[in-house]
Amino acid sequence: MYSTVKEWIKDYRISLTILLLLVVVVYMNSLGNGFVIDDNTAISNNPKITSFKSVTDRPLFVQPLLYFIVSNLFGPNPTMFRLVNILFHIGTVWITFILLSITSGPIIGFFTASLFAVHPIVTESVVWISGGPHVIYSFFLLFSLLFYVLSSNKKTYYWVSLIFFLLALATSEKAIIFPGILLFYEIALSDIKKSWKKIAPFFIFSGVLVLRVYLPQVGERAAEFQKNVSVKPVFNNPVILIPYAVSSYLQLIFWPIRLSLFHYQTKISLVEYLARLLVFLPFIGLIGLSFQKNRHIFFWLCFFITSIAWTFLPFGVVGIVAERYVYLGTIGVLFLLGYILEKLLEAKRTETLAILLFIIFMIFFMIRTVVRNFDWKNEESLWFATVKTDFIYHGAHNKLGELYERKGDLANAIKEYKIALRLNPNYPEGYSNLGAAYLKMRKLSEASEAFNKSIQLNPWLWQPYQNLAVIYYGRGSYDKAIEYTKAAIQKVPKTSDQYLKANSELYFNLGAMYLKKGDKKKAKEAILAALGFNPQDPKARKILLQLRE
């Protein structure tokens, strides 16, 4: 028994150093990667990221605070933002080792933490800057669990556990699952009858976050779905959803070959559903059996299920499967693998087999992670990898088309947009992007047709209105251009990452249109509104100076 943390670290410093080096080795090649998809709107194209108001305006303030600090110290440097994720991943790996060493022994702790350190399924959370909240809230939750376990011997640790839980809640609403983890811990490894008062505050704090943050977000997402008439209301039958999700994650953890940003699924066939059940039902049976045979396995398998339980909502407002969703839960499954390796190691006849299997797993996972890091190098590599893995997903082709369009390759952009529309003929974003590409080619008739088709399918998309306004402006129909620009402004969702940038551009365009009509008063009002969304916009500042002369 160790009397101080210093003594414990001294004895296990080699293990901690090895775990650190494992993370460094597998993620070294990701440090030079750029910003991709959501990173651009959240960081590189976010004019308010360096303002502390970006932190105080958000109830979940931890991630904005980290963005604020990094952006002010290093500017829009993707390496530094990604390094934050990697450092938190190192911390999560260390805490996993410490927690399991205390509860299950250092050997199983080292096996599990090592596998988790290099597992390719967590790459999306670590390498994708916008996936960072999954790493950060997991770090805080595991710290909270560690101090909750230690609080049985030292009561003051209970309050430390609560503080780390609050930090997790301030990072991501996904942390609401933690009281369920504590509940299973008490059932499996303690005494729920005596300890229910200890976990009650955790349920209360989660309940407050659900009411204040989670439910409003679900409501906003549901409202977006209602506005998006091209997407029919979705109800995912839990009898189908849960076996599909659990079996998919198990497949990705044990055989992480088809990793993808999207795991697109159309209608699940009966044959596939039965195959999923053949994985899911034995897994549930294993959980039931482990309650009788080994409570540690029972707890960590329940840890896995509980950590992804928030994705089991039947209303279709979150994806069924996403690799970042299972960052925390992966530890629970890998515990089972670590337990098996430890048992093999304990028997002399299978000791060599245990070491050999561990080495094979580690080499396989490390190589796959390093290769997966290259997929996240830039948007081009990401979307090519995504299309290769999920060719039938129309959204991936649409994103690849957007990439070609930004590069000026309009022919290939149109080709990808048309593939997306063949895969989904009722895809309004595809028509909107197709129209934008035609507009850049000055094919105004084809562009107008595509924009109107997009509006017909979904009148709540703002981009087609903006582009139709551009067409009318070019024709000298300024009143029509103003009408469509105002319609676009009304339809930009406040929850969108593009809200600030889009409104800045739209109000600037509106000001230019009023100026063209000779209405300087309304032009000035529109330009001032544009500067309210982006105070540093040099074009808007220049026009405002002209209007004041």
Residues 6+ apart with CB under 8 A from 61: 55, 170
SS3 225: helix
> Is residue 175 located within the same domain as residue 57?
yes
Which of 294, 289, 367, 354 lies closest to 107 in space, CA to CA? 354
Same domain membership, residue 311 and residue 164: yes
- The half-sphere exposure of 280 on its side-chain side, counting CA atoms within 13 A, is 18
Same domain as 96, residue 36:
yes
Residues 104 and 90 occupy one common structural domain: yes
Is there a domain that residue 75 lies in? yes
Give me the number of domains the chain comprises: 3
In sequence order, the 6+-apart residues with CB closer than 8 A to the CB of 426 are 230, 457
pLDDT for position 229: 45
**Could you say which of 417, 442, 461 is where a domain stops?**
461
**409 and 307 together in one domain:** no
Task: Write out the DSSP string of 350-409.
Answer: GHHHHHHHHHHHHHHHHHHHHHHHHHTSSHHHHHHHHHHH-TT-HHHHHHHHHHHHHTT-
Q: Looking at the domain assignment, is residue 492 inside a domain? A: yes
- 474 and 363 in a single domain? The answer is no
Domain-located, residue 386: no
Where does residue 56 rank: exposed (0-12), middle (13-18), buried (19+ CB within 10 A)? exposed
Q: Residue ranges of the alpha helices (H) in 190-329? A: 192-209, 215-227, 238-254, 270-293, 295-307
Same domain, 366 and 488: no
Containing domain of residue 224, as a range? 5-380
Are 524 and 446 part of one and the same domain?
A: no
402 and 521 assigned to the same domain: no
Of 416, 446, 461, which residue is a domain's last?
461
Choosing from 346, 380, 414, the residue where a domain stops is 380
Tell me what pLDDT residue 2 has.
53
Q: What is the pTM of this model?
A: 0.86
Instruction: Determine the Cα–Cα distance for residues 12 and 96; give it in Å rounded to an integer.
Output: 13
Measured distance CA(451)–CA(464) in Å, rounded: 5
Whether residues 91 and 217 share a domain: the answer is yes
Report yes or no on 385 lying in a domain: no
Q: List, in order, residues 6 or more apart from 354 with CB less than 8 Å away.
A: 341, 342, 344, 345
- In this structure, which amino acid lies at residue 442? R
Q: Residue-wise pLDDT tens for the chain (549 aa)?
A: 455 566 777 788 999 999 999 999 999 999 999 999 889 888 887 878 888 888 887 778 899 999 999 999 999 999 999 999 999 999 999 999 999 999 999 999 999 999 999 999 999 999 999 999 999 999 999 999 999 999 988 889 999 999 999 999 999 989 999 999 999 999 998 877 778 888 999 999 888 887 776 666 655 555 555 454 444 445 578 888 899 999 999 999 999 999 998 887 667 888 999 999 999 999 999 999 999 999 999 999 999 999 999 888 776 556 788 999 999 999 999 999 999 999 999 998 999 999 999 999 999 999 999 999 999 999 889 999 999 888 888 988 999 999 999 999 999 999 999 999 999 999 999 999 999 999 999 999 999 999 999 999 999 889 999 999 999 999 999 999 999 999 999 988 876 667 778 888 989 989 889 888 888 888 888 888 888 888 888 888 888 777 776
Answer yes or no: is 71 within a domain.
Answer: yes
CATH (domain of 545): 1.25.40.10
Burial of 442 per CB tally in 10 Å (0-12, 13-18, 19+): exposed
* Pair (272, 199) in one structural domain: yes
Query: Which amino acid would we find at residue 339?
Result: Y
Same domain, 71 and 166: yes
